[in-house]
Structure 1
Amino acid sequence: MYRHLIILCLVIFASGCATYGNDIQTALTYTQSGQPDKAAQAFEKVIKQDGSDRLLYYMELGVLKHLNGDYQQSNRLLEEAERLVEEFYTQSISEAVLVAMSTPTLADYKGQVFEDVYINYYKALNYLFMADQAANRNERADLLDSALVEARRLDNKLTKLRNERGSYQDVKDEEEQTFTQILSLFEKLLGNYIDEEKLVFRENAYSHYLSGLLYEQQKEWDDARISYQKAAELYEQGYAKQVGVGDNMIGQAWLDTIRMMQKAGGWDSSISKLKWEKLDDDQRDKLRDYQNSDAELVVLNHLDFVPQKKELNFVMYVEPARKEMVLTPLLTGAVQESQDKYAWFWMMYADKGILDVVERYSNGGLDNVVRTLINKRVILGPAWDLVESLNIDSALRDGGVRVAVPYYSPIRTISHQNRLSVNGQDYDLIKAESLARLALNEQILKARTDLYEALARETLKNTLLVESANSALGEENALLNYGLKALTATTARADTRTWLTLPAEIHVVRIPMTSGEHHVSLTNRFTKGTGLASVNQTINLEKGDMHVWRQRSFPGLSHAAQQTLIENEKEPEPSAFSAFDKYLN
């Protein structure tokens, strides 16, 4: 009876666990409704600037201040975020081991590699938009120089990253070798279906593209050419495929490379070759349009939020007769959520290789093979003596223990159409970046480590508790053991923290234009919420202008989200203890 009771408790705990996304949901909803000032207030109520989430405090508020047009304050916050990333980078190995043994959410959030890159991205945009508001030419020039400083910092970070992780070209060259192809074949036969090398974040093509844009603003044609060409080559070598960007962005980056060659001069033979090798007919037509224009509109459309990490829970127990450890995922939630959890479990943890199936069959027949499809079974046979000597078998019997790891639901289509209308003429935007895919890739690469650390952490906690209980009251006190297991289940948490105010995707369109007044309209057709989002603007372009318009677009709020904001605006109801509270104060 007690065993069934504790399993029920584990399911209940798994269903009710909060995540970082839940904690800041009100702030995200205010952001989506176009109220970044209220979002910042809501955020500061739940995240402290001196706690383990302090890096997130500075990054999230940095974006919210950016969205509110307070670019100077945004940069102050992001500079502190950058300082913290550098400080955390020097953390010792001993500290990392202690963190792995503790509850992960109590440890300092150190950020992901691609998040560090986007600190400088937002700082560069802040300087760019402050330059647009400058009181005079000298101030504008200084601010644009500051934007270029951020571009150079970005380049330095990406160079360091490439040196540490190798380039996309290295991976492309390696996979063409016969031995590598054979090795890949056997890895798949033995169950490793994920080619991790193709998921590693090595460089950021889109950041190089932004650097090119900033250099072009300053009319530094050759530096702009170098950055645009670097972006084009990275997209081509593997980055476009890694983040799900189509060939149009590759062509766009090459088009801008050719434009800079034309402006710099001396590249005639290269231009002729690249035009026919890298551009399609529409892009060659657009290149000609630039010859007849004296201004340009650049739209950077930031869409929605990066997806939120969620928590997947397992029950972990041992079967002494088989000398096996079993992990059973708790597929709680609505139908879609339950299916997503099973898909993540199967992709990352289930035994799928031929040898796995044979091993399961030989150790239990068809029944054992079938159970493997919904469980992760680890044969402990050769290590069983060690398991018993460490008292692990006792800790994991009698209902097992709860283990929690982070996961992402599949990334679903964000929008059906993203279109810019200029004076009645329509242009489709091009997907240039997917931070959603970068986040997903990073988590896939960390998934096995997250599981191993979670298994070790929960096993250690429960082993120590069982030993303490046995020492104090004897092994016969089974009810106490069950109670202790239920207690430790409440402390099992997955680290679901990530920089959530970042956009899920960035789309780009560049239009050669003539100087004067223009009416522009940006329309996004989202797949969720109320679907349609549209914004209109009138812009005045002077001769030689390159006007950059950054627009953050969100799907309209659902009825439930609107009601949440309405409730937040109400005065709190008087507490039943208000008189007592007043007396105490």
Structure 2
Amino acid sequence: MRIPTKFWFQFISVGVLIIALNSCGITYNDRSYEFQNEVYYRNFDKAASLIEDNEFLSKKRNRLLYLMEKGKVEHMSGNYKKSNQLFEEAYILIDDRITANAGQAVAAKLTNPMAAPYRGEDFEKVMIHYYMALNYFQLGMPNEALVEAKRINIKLQELNQKYKKNKNKYTEDAFAQILQGLLYEATGDINNAFIAYRNAEELYVNNNNSYYGVPLPYQLKKDLLRTSKQLGFTQEYNKYASQFNIPEKEFEKHPAEAVIFWENGLGPAKDQTQITVVDDAFVAVNDANNSIFIPIPPGTDLGITSIAIPKYVQRESYYKGARLKFNNKEENFELVEDFFPIAEQSLHDRMLREVIDIALRVGAKKATSASLGALAKEILGEDAKDLVKVGADIAGAATEKADTRNWQTLPATISYARVPLTENGNNTFIIEKYGKSTDRDTISIDYKKGLQLVSYFDVGKATTNYVEPKFKLKKDEAEQKTSIPTDSTSTRKIN
């Protein structure tokens, strides 16, 4: 018995739709779940191995993504030299202007932008230099660390200069200025440290004392008072003393100090949002203040149409805050970088620049549908034309997917605290994290004159067998199996 041609086209159309829909909902967050899970539980060697074995990250178009993910995990493992090798390659790749070949360009136009090479969000590109700075400092190379810290705002400005329209609103980073100030202090350059701190403070003041969700840190006020006093800048010191009203004993200079950076949680992940039709244009709404209108090419027969654009989804951190306890004193970690508002703003600005590309993708898919319909009419007759065109529309709509790639191992937030070290005293600090439960780590920092920078992080819930880079755990603790107690305490040592 001969099966009607119309039935075959219906069968094929439904099949294409099912296959496309099965792959359409998979985001990069889904594809990276395994290694993210190992990072969450601080199994960094396993996470690094899974990144190597990740088929998606092994594709050439995802090379930058691989370098950033692997570089961060190596940093967390304490493999600072290896981490910087990976980040240096990422830096060179970005500077060489990542481009798509002809096949990738066509695939991105006819399917979705994930077929093109990943170029990274602008704020991700500058965070490469933050981790390179920390790596260099841990390798005993503070001057090289300072160079990387300076590159953060320089890179932001370079990136923005190339945009003719819809320039980034995120053009400077207050945290980068604070980091520069700390590194200048660590190298003995108090004058430039003061300038960097002042630049950071001006960014806050010019934005109503809050910069991308971060209020002006109390520690920054103390740094301005201390450095201006050290330099004998009487006018500036009196200005800040009157403005901040902080007791002098709170910002006094110590022979040896440590600044501890606390990275908490995992940063926002990309998902996608579908766009609806309004008159002759698509409108995507990520939130009440961020609507994006996409002009549709004139004469486009919309038919069955879907457009997806990326959006950031905030991931809840296990801990809400942390404090340091030492020598009968207490010092809160202060928020200094929140990645969610920065990520949202960076993505929104980029989408405004790319609306024409999105509109062209709609036009290309519709042109393909029309061509297939015309071909079916010529070969199979008038009845097949609309059926094939609808099938192609369904396939085009089903394969429409936003680019959900992003640097998944960035933290949700970075906070910091500055503490004095005593030469013959007990430089032991209890880090108390609070949120869904209260957990504690005890760390000790070797006395060393000057300023030390220490990187410390909590991705998920603290566990007692976690061995932080540069920390040493007691033998009996190291032999314990992984556990997730209600209230955990561990001991670590920084050399």
Q: What's the TM-score once normalised by structure 1's chain length?
A: 0.67
Map residues 204-219 of structure 1 onto 2, 5 A cutoff. Answer: 204-219=173-188
Identity over aligned residues, as a percent?
A: 25
Which residue in the other structure is 1:187 paired with?
A: none
Provide closer, same or farther for how the CA distance between residues 94 and 348 of structure 1 changes in structure 2, counting only shifts above 3 A: farther
Letter in 2 for 1:149: V
Aligned counterpart for 2:387 among listed residues 479, 485, 488: 479
1:60-100 alpha-carbon deviations (Å, 9 max, x no partner): 111100000000000000000000110117x5999998686
Matched AA of 2:341: R
> Is structure 2 residue 65 aligned with structure 1 residue 56?
yes
Report the alpha carbon displacement of residue 327 of structure 1 after superposing the two structures with TM. Answer: 5.8
Q: Secondary structure at the match of 2:268?
A: coil
Aligned residue for 1:548? 453
Offset, 1:129: 1.0
Aligned residue identity for 1:35: N
The whole-number CA distance in structure 1 between the counterparts of 2:388 and 2:153 is 58
Judging changes above 3 Å, is the alpha-carbon distance between structure 1 residues 417 and 146 closer, same or farther for their aligned structure 2 residues?
A: closer
Q: Which residue of 2 aligns with 1:502?
A: 410
Match of residue 406 from structure 1: 310
Residue by residue over 1:361-396, the C-alpha shift from the partner in whole angstroms, topping out at 9 and shown as x without a partner, is xxxxxxxxxxxxxxx9x9x9xx9xx51xxxx32xx3
Alignment of 1:343-422 (within 5 A): 344=286, 348-349=290-291, 386-387=298-299, 392-393=300-301, 396-397=302-303, 400-409=304-313, 415-422=319-326
Q: Contact between 1:348 and 1:447, CA under 8 Å: does it hold in 2?
A: no
2:233 equivalent to 1:272: no
Corresponding residue number in structure 2 for 1:464: 368
**Paired residue for 1:188?**
none
Residues 563-578 of structure 1 mapped to structure 2, 5 A cutoff: none
**C-alpha separation in 2, matches of 1:200 and 1:431:** 21
In the alignment, the residues of structure 2 paired with residue 106 and residue 459 of structure 1 have an alpha-carbon distance, to the nearest angstrom, of: 18
Amino acid at match of 1:80: E
Name the residue aligned to 2:228: 261
Work out whether 1:110 is the aligned partner of 2:79: no
- In the alignment, the residues of structure 2 paired with residue 418 and residue 68 of structure 1 have an alpha-carbon distance, to the nearest angstrom, of 22
Alignment partner of 1:281 out of 246, 252, 259: 246
Q: How far has the Cα of 1:17 moved from its partner? A: 1.1
Count of paired positions: 443
Taking structure 1 as reference, are residues 9 and 472 closer, same or farther at Cα in structure 2, changes over 3 Å only?
closer
- Greater mean alpha carbon deviation, residues 480-489 or residues 80-89: 480-489
Provide closer, same or farther for how the CA distance between residues 123 and 404 of structure 1 changes in structure 2, counting only shifts above 3 A. same
- The 1:57–1:120 alpha-carbon spacing in structure 2 relative to 1, beyond 3 Å, is same
Do the aligned residues in 2 keep the contact of 1:421 with 1:522 (CA within 8 Å)?
yes
2:430 aligned to which of 482, 504, 521: 521
Correspondence for 1:302: 263
Aligned equivalents of 2:160, 2:193: Cα separation in 1: 20
- 2:100–2:117 contact (8 Å) kept in structure 1: no
How far did residue 36 of structure 1 move?
A: 1.3
User: 2:258–2:451: 8 Å Cα contact kept in structure 1?
Assistant: yes
TM-aligned CA distance change 1:302 to 1:97, over 3 Å: same
Tell me, yes or no, if the aligned pair for 1:212 and 1:223 is still in contact at 8 Å: yes
**Superposition deviation, residue 406 in structure 1:** 0.9
Cα distance, 1:222–1:155 mapped onto 2, change above 3 Å: farther
Counterpart contact for 1:161–1:203, Cα < 8 Å: no
- The whole-number CA distance in structure 2 between the counterparts of 1:408 and 1:532 is 29
Q: Deviations over 1:132-185 (max 9, x none)?
A: xxxxxxxxxxx222222323433533554676789xxxxxxxxxxxxxxxxxxx
- CA shift, 1:306, in A, is 1.1
Secondary structure, counterpart of 2:370 in structure 1: helix
When residues 22 and 238 of structure 1 are mapped into structure 2, their CA distance, relative to the original with a 3 A threshold, is same
In the TM superposition, what whole-angstrom CA distance separates every residue of 1:326-363 from its partner, at most 9, and x where no partner exists? Answer: 8699xxxxxxxxxxxxx726654499xxxxxxxxxxxx
Secondary structure of the corresponding residue to residue 416 of structure 1: strand
Is the CA contact 2:366–2:393 (under 8 Å) kept in the aligned structure 1? yes
Distance 1:78 1:466, change over 3 A: same
1:232 aligns with 2:201: yes
Q: Secondary structure at the match of 2:399?
A: coil
3-state DSSP of counterpart to 1:257 = helix
The answer to whether the 8 Å contact 2:174/2:204 transfers is: yes
Between the aligned partners of 1:121 and 1:517, the Cα distance in structure 2 is: 30
8 Å CA contact retained: 2:324, 2:331: yes
- For residue 534 of structure 1, give the secondary structure of its aligned residue in structure 2: strand
Deviation at 1:489, TM superposition (A): 3.2
Is 1:541–1:547's contact at 8 Å kept on the other side of the alignment?
no
C-alpha separation in 2, matches of 1:54 and 1:347: 34
Partner residue, 1:181: none
| Distance (Å, rounded) in 2 between the aligned partners of 1:435 and 1:326 | 31
Aligned partners of 1:313 and 1:405 also within 8 Å: yes
Shift of 1:531: 4.5
- Relative to 1, partners in 2 of residues 1:461 and 1:159: Cα closer, same or farther, differing over 3 Å? closer
Amino acid at match of 1:253: L
Amino acid at match of 1:157: K
SS in 2 for 1:200: coil
Q: Distance in 2 between matches of 1:97 and 1:16?
A: 19
Q: Deviations over 1:388-418 (max 9, x none)?
A: xxxx32xx33xx1232211123676874332
The separation in 2 between residues aligned to 1:525 and 1:11, in whole angstroms, is: 45
1-structure distance, mates of 2:126, 2:280: 41
1:470 & 1:411 partners in 2: Cα distance?
47
